[in-house]
Structure 1
């Protein structure tokens, strides 16, 4: 049964999304949506990563709220930096962050955090996953930024996934 339905919730979601996007409950759409829901998880099963094992859910909840706070604070800081750019231009730079985090799920979470927190416009992960190159909108002290990044984001992700 698992081979026929490797991800039943995903199959049901794809079927429902198909019907929602087409805004029709016709027989053709019901059948096409069902085929999509059944075949897509089977075809793409080799591409699915191994299931994530969250070792410390309390740390994950704490990190979630911490990132939410940082998004708000960073939005205000970037807005203020843009408004005062005529008087004091931002000191944008690229920062190389050495990484101790090697878990694929942790790195994916780190990438999402870098994406949602304003002020980090661009990032690149080294092929060996040892360094993250990050563009920072306004930077005062590189060493302090690296320590803050590692303490605030990387270490909790290591506790959660490694």
Structure 2
């Protein structure tokens, strides 16, 4: 009889994700549009409670290697969302026969599930594109776009604008 070896459960930390908690508190205050003591207290409780309750679902500690690059990435994504909304509105209001929808296989250079999820979510946040499927065996993300004239250029742009910064922020070890 072979006893089954299992990893012991991780000890619960009282403050598991401080950066996430700070972000959640800030987001709560922005959504509430108030700095009252009640909103501050409620936001602080939620910002602590949600990460504490969900820490068992996080496979490993999240390590942000380049926080300034992450801020730049977020600004690029926000800008792309605004621009894509304007372009998409113009295309939808224009003649439908000029749209060139396409599916694209975007090869993945990133490996961690969290980073792949962020990449797929970023693509889906941008109006006119959606992540349709993930194939981990062949390492590609299937993306649908409402209008693409050059598939190779669109793939290269997604990899350069979204995947490369995510890889640098979350996966790559610092270079000497």
Aligned length: 135
**Residues 58 and 4 (structure 1 numbering): CA distance in 2 closer, same or farther, change over 3 Å?**
closer
Using the TM superposition, give the Cα deviation of residue 107 of structure 1 relative to its aligned residue in structure 2, in angstroms: 1.1
Specify which of 163, 167, 173 is matched with residue 158 of structure 1.
167
Name 1:71's counterpart in structure 2.
Answer: 81
Using the TM superposition, give the Cα deviation of residue 125 of structure 1 relative to its aligned residue in structure 2, in angstroms: 0.9
Matches of 2:166 and 2:145, distance apart in 1? 21
**Which segments of 5 or more consecutive residues in structure 2 lack a partner in the other structure?**
1-10, 25-48, 172-176
Matches of 1:125 and 1:138, distance apart in 2? 21
Specify which of 122, 133, 140 is matched with residue 124 of structure 1.
133
Q: Please, what TM-score do these two structures have when normalized by structure 2? A: 0.66
Q: Which runs of 4+ in 1 moved over 6 A?
A: none
Asked if the contact 2:131–2:141 (Cα under 8 Å) also holds between the matched residues in 1, the reply is no
Q: Secondary structure at the match of 1:96?
A: strand
Matches of 1:76 and 1:47, distance apart in 2? 37
Q: Please, what TM-score do these two structures have when normalized by structure 1? A: 0.71
1:94-135 deviation per Cα after TM superposition (whole angstroms, max 9, x unaligned): 000111011222112112201210011342111337101000
Aligned: 1:106 with 2:126: no
RMSD of aligned C-alpha atoms? Answer: 3.0
**Which segments of 5 or more consecutive residues in structure 1 lack a partner in the other structure?**
14-36
